A and B are shown apart, each in its own frame.
Chain A
Amino acid sequence: MECRRADGLLSGLIDHELWPLSRLRVTRHLARCAACAGKVEELRAVQAAIRTKLPYHRAPPGLAARIGAALPREAAPQAARPWFRLPAFSLAGTGLAGAVAGVALTLLFVGGSDDATQAVIGSHIRSMQVGHLTDVTTSDQHTVKPWLAAHLDVSPAVRELKDAGFPLVGGRMDYIDGHPAAAVVYTRAKHVINLFAWASTGKDEGFHKETRQGFNVVTWRRSGIQYYAVSDVEAEQLVEFARLVAQ
């Protein structure tokens, strides 16, 4: 492959979007072309800078309320109170995202199904409320694991995956379907990954992924522990994350 042709495929390479044959050809080219290999590093640097440094603009307080007020009201107004007037909205001062998430969760339990996937998504949303993400905040796996073990009857895998791009943030106690569960929190760029774990009887099960409400969920069972990884990172990356945790 010539440099000229490889050049058009370098972004596809770092995004894991090339077909296997193209990927093979580009990789072979990079092995013997230092100039193109250097370009890949530069593209990766741009990618990493945006992922880690670009300011993130959260929705300003009041926007959710404005939208709620603007939604058409032809529906019976005497029915359930509109979400933007629920008490949870008073949390707005502590960060609107949290307030909105809290309300969404309320609705989730009112109107959603009660299976585990639904429950972990609800907990994931709630966890992103300010101050609810972690009970123990540390990037040290040797702190998180004993903390969870001391508070729960399960001892899930806790790994430091910073080098793989999934830094550990901490852990917390959570409740899924009324049962205590461990939640180990990681991040990926600006996204939160909640890894839920609870004791479960049954045989080991491989990875299963599904998408619901715009969130990706990867589940597996290992050594009597049921795992649910929930995030809005790409499904493929969440599976990669799951593999790293489970290995």
Chain B
Amino acid sequence: MPQDDRRRRFELLALPHLDAAFNLARWLAGNTADAEDVVQDAYLRAYRYFDSFQGGNFRVWLLTIVRNAFVTWVKENRSGRMVFTPDTPVADTAETEETLWGSRPSDPEALLLESIESQTLGRLMEQLPAEYREVLLLREVEDLAYKEIADVTGVPIGTVMSRLSRARLALRKLWLQHADTEAAHGV
């Protein structure tokens, strides 16, 4: 049966990427229940538009749909709360190199990110804006190339590079602040 073949092909392609889809949705939505809804919606959408998949990297295609399902979900469930803020020109000009990098730590030991606990890193990550979290996830965890990240997020490649740069610096800044606080409390 053609319809049955279609479903079988879909399952064959989509199921191995369920963890990747869920992990992205979980980091974007912030909790398991919402992430499950997003992923389920994404898989239904992917099945509906399966015929439009033109070959290429199925994982990238699927993650694009997960990301879009999340955007829809935000609009429907967190109305009024802007999760994806566009990279405004204001931010581009106002953030000088100084503010981006912050003050250089006098103690290089403070930068030893190797010593960071997984849980701490996770908490810091959650404090980042969604568009930072998403590029970091796609780049560092899903290992996507800039072109692929551009496809998933719908922004130009140049923006992917600058956003990734900002995202890494923002995480670094949070980490430095966290390390400072810990030091102040004598931990």
Chain A residues within CB distance 8 Å of chain B = 3-4, 7-12, 15, 17, 39, 42-43, 45-51, 53-60, 63-64, 66-68, 70-72, 74-76, 79-80, 83, 96-97, 100-101, 103-104, 107-108, 110-112, 125, 188-191, 211, 213-215, 232-234, 236-237
- The verdict on A75 contacting B58 (CB below 8 Å), with A49-B116, A57-B27, A70-B44 known, is no
Contact A64 B121 (CB under 8 A): no
A108 surroundings in chain B (CB, below 8 A): 12
Contact A15 B139 (CB under 8 A): yes
Q: How many A-B residue pairs have CB under 8 A?
A: 186
B58 surroundings in chain A (CB, below 8 A): 213-214
Contact A63 B22 (CB under 8 A): yes
Choice from B3, B19, B116, B143 contacting A75 with Cβ under 8 Å: B3
Choice from B32, B122, B139, B140 contacting A55 with Cβ under 8 Å: B122
Contact B57 A211 (CB under 8 A): yes
Decide if the interface of chain A is mainly helix, strand, loop or mixed. helix
Contact A17 B15 (CB under 8 A): no
A39 surroundings in chain B (CB, below 8 A): 101
By the criterion of a CB under 8 Å from any partner CB, how many residues of chain B are at the interface?
67
Tell me, in angstroms, the Cα distance from A103 to B141 when the chains sit together.
25
A215 surroundings in chain B (CB, below 8 A): 16
| Least distance between A148 CB and chain B CB atoms (Å) | 26
Closest residue of chain B to A108 (Cβ to Cβ) is B12
Choice from B36, B145, B172, B175 contacting A236 with Cβ under 8 Å: B145
